[in-house]
Amino acid sequence: MLFLPKPKLSEFDLIIERLKPQHDPLLKAFRCDKEDETDFIRNDALLQQTIKLNETYLLFERGKEKVISYITFSVGSFVLSPEREVYGVRIRDKPCEFPNRVPCMLIGRLATDKGEEGRGGASYLLAFAVREAVRKSELVPFPFLAVHAYPDKVAFYERNGFERAFTPDAGETPRTACMYVGLFDVAKKH
């Protein structure tokens, strides 16, 4: 039997909604390739949002009652290698003291339903995340949007403009890779 790939999503057909209790029945059908991400959206996301630990958004195709992808934001910080360049200058060469921990808006989770993979839902939500981070950084200053990416997702984030905060030591296989995008550069482009 021949299976044809699903068509790419059109941004004109997409709707992003902040997670609400009314979405609960739709979340029961959501399944992605990482069990912890499926479990999170079904069991923890709404409670954590209610107590202000994070904020979760769902992606839908207009006229369909199926969650394509979801993304969760929180506030965090991360450490940049002193060898990393920030706005064209290595951190260790900065003319002012650069903090050890850098504040950021953090993508806590970004997941796509198995039946929707390859259609562009995660990329669409990632672009939404960058726009939201730029907007929110006007209210509370933070210079970066960051994510702790699973090793198999690093290339996806790199294709979307993210850089690694640290390069793992030889032979080291970290559970996640801290990645970031500078909001100052993004804001200048828009």
List of domains in the chain = 11-189 (3.40.630.30)
**Given pLDDT bands bounded at 50, 70 and 90, which one contains residue 167?**
low
Question: What per-residue confidence (pLDDT) applies to 170?
Answer: 56
Residue 125 has pLDDT above 80, yes or no: yes
Indicate if the pLDDT at residue 176 is higher than 60: yes
Q: Which 3 state secondary structure label does DSSP give 76?
A: strand
Identify the pLDDT of residue 151. 86
Q: Give the total residue count for the chain.
A: 190
State the SS3 of 24-56: HHHHCCCCCCCHHHHHHHHHCHHHHHHCCCCEE
Cβ contact 164:154 at 8 Å: yes
CB 53 within 8 A of CB 74: yes
Write down the pLDDT at residue 185.
Answer: 65
Reading the block at residue 115, the tokens are 């039946």
